[in-house]
Amino acid sequence: MAAKSSGTESQSLRHVQALFYDLVTAPSGVESGLIDRGSDAAELEAIIRGDARLSAIERLDIYANMYFYRILDVLRDEFPRVVAVVGDVAFHDLITDYLLAHRPQNPSLREAGSRLPPYLVQHALGLARPWLPGLARLERTHRELFDGADAVPLTLVGLRRLPPEAFATMGVRLCPTHAILDSAFALSAIWTTCLSEPVHPEARSERLLVWRQDFEVRHRVIDSAGESAMLEAAAEGATMGELCDVMTAAQNQPDAGDPAARAFQFLARWVDDGLLTATA
Amino acid sequence: MIDFPNIGHGIGLRPPHFAALSSEPQAVDWVEVISENFMVLGGNPRAVLRKVRERMPVVLHGVSLSLGSVDPLDERYLEALDNLAREIEPAWVSDHLCWSSLGGHTGHDLWPVPFTEEALDHLASRVARVQERLGRRILVENVSSYLQFVESALTEWDFLAELCRRTDCGILLDVNNVFVSAYNHGFSPRAFLDGIPIGRVGQIHLAGHRDEGTHLLDTHDHPVCEGVWDLFRASVERFGAVPTLIERDDDIPPLAELVAESHRAASIEREVCALRTDPPREYPLPILERMAADGS
């Protein structure tokens, strides 16, 4: 046996794994990683066997490439619009930088991209396109809601069964698979076009509702102050009556119509979209 | 020694085949899922998994347990895995003889361990802890590797056999990984099989790989090659009928192609087992015959 047992671990195994990890995750490959450590091939060859076919550095580089490209591939799938906007080469370099700043911590690969949208805010690609972090956040939100927690949505059939006097006091909440995103740019207009052509979104603030209905994640612009206020209240949980009150308070234009009727329109749409669930 | 049931021949449950496998009768005995892809709160993956589980046995195959890491075991991960297992009631749970995390960071890969007494002690204690936490024996899979450590004093097969002896875990024998590692390191794949104790193999994986010139790369993006089929035949000659899975993760072909590969595995197994003189393990009727008998 080459190494003596020392309980559940020893410095030897720790040293091997630390060196392996440092070099596999080095941004420019194993050889540069060794130089950055002030080391050389000899240190590696004392730990990893090289042969006529492949040196120790080349063998470890196989793992280095797999580490980077596996994560890159997953992030390319998760952020196709960011890829389309910046191009393959710039996205590759972005992920190189991102992985240096945010090494994956979650056992699931689906979490590898969770910090890319905020990271873009201070990255050169985001500084050159201030709307890009918002676009990345919208893509990431779609991903997160895809397999978020299930809930039983309210249906019109269920609501019709309610006695009229019970409607106002019925407690509701938005389904957990929703998000309300605010952006300083009109991202909804470029969501599809950015995949195939250069885009320059208008600098106009926009609030987006993103939600999952059945198994499909969708989004739409919220362009009514009343609906926006109702959504905020419903996200916290409220009764139907309280939501109507919120609408009344938010609608300060006398010619905008009956607030209760408008509130019912929004509630009906939300139910149709599978957005509402009953609270106990 | 083996109490992992013989559930026949399966394929991996992957998104392109979610709809077909969750809604239509298929000539597949069981499916294996990547555990981490279903450790989510809800949505389509969990719904599909529940539907598929109603139709056939499911096996949970993890890639992030990081059994060989010097990091502490990830208790939150173990809890999520335990919760998933309680809900799905898999035929068994498996992961790899490898490490993939360090300092709280994960590499999302299957990194090799040195085959030393020190690593063996370390792995044995962690496999025991995982089995205790999950309340079940697990299967540990040999990985494809591209390097060997100077300090390794054991062969991979001796290491794996001793790990089983110390922890009573089973082995998920990945025949493609044996083939790939044998080529990459110049050992005999038959020697690997001969070193694995009979009665410890609870499952077999078959997959495709890519020839990179200087080495073979375990890619799971090709059909099983003839060399791996030959080695599978040798595996059945040694271990008998063992639940066998066709593993495909990239360039996923139509379901019929995977099913055809699964049936080829079943056919080889029947052929080899018919020649064996020792009593075969209990073996279910081939799936096509069962479906015909059920009228499905």
> Which residues on chain A are in Cβ contact (under 8 Å) with B66?
107
Interchain contact, B108 vs A109, CB within 8 Å: yes
Eight-class DSSP state of B220: S
Average pLDDT value for chain B: 93
Judged against a pLDDT cut of 60, whether residue B289 lies above it is answered with no
Does A199 contact B at CB distance below 8 Å? no
CB-based burial label for A106 (10 Å; 0-12, 13-18, 19+): middle
Confidence of residue A159 (pLDDT cuts 50, 70, 90): confident
Task: Quote the tokens at residue A156.
Answer: 């019109």
Judged against a pLDDT cut of 70, whether residue B280 lies above it is answered with no
ipTM attached to this prediction: 0.93
Judged against a pLDDT cut of 90, whether residue B276 lies above it is answered with no
- Write the residue in A1, A53, A105 that is nearest to B106 by C-beta: A105
- Chain A segment 218-277 residues within 8 A of B by beta carbon are none
Sign of torsion, CA B265 B270 B273 B275?
A: negative
Judged against a pLDDT cut of 80, whether residue A8 lies above it is answered with no
Does B293 contact A at CB distance below 8 Å? no
> Which residues on chain A are in Cβ contact (under 8 Å) with B215?
53-54, 62
Q: Is there a contact between B152 and A2 (Cβ–Cβ < 8 Å)?
A: yes
Judged against a pLDDT cut of 80, whether residue B188 lies above it is answered with yes
Q: What's the confidence (pLDDT) of residue A183?
A: 97
- Chain A segment 115-144 residues within 8 A of B by beta carbon are none
Which CATH number is B9-294 given?
A: 3.20.20.150
All domains of chain A, ordered by start, with CATH? 148-280 (3.90.930.50)
Judged against a pLDDT cut of 90, whether residue B40 lies above it is answered with yes
Does A198 contact B at CB distance below 8 Å? no
* Domain boundaries of chain B, sorted by first residue: 9-294
pLDDT digits (tens, 9 = 90+) for B80-138: 999 999 999 999 999 999 999 999 999 999 999 999 999 999 999 999 999 999 999 99
- Write the residue in A8, A46, A63 that is nearest to B109 by C-beta: A63
Task: Quote the tokens at residue B245.
Answer: 């899975």
Interchain contact, A3 vs B118, CB within 8 Å: yes
pLDDT digits (tens, 9 = 90+) for B131-170: 999 999 999 999 999 999 999 999 999 999 999 999 999 9
- Greatest alpha-carbon pair distance for chain A in Å reads 87
Q: How far is CA A202 from CA A129, A158, A185, A206, A225, in A?
A: 12, 42, 6, 10, 20
- Global pTM? 0.92
Task: In whole angstroms, give the CA distance from residue A213 to residue A178.
Answer: 9
pLDDT digits (tens, 9 = 90+) for A161-179: 888 888 889 999 999 999 9
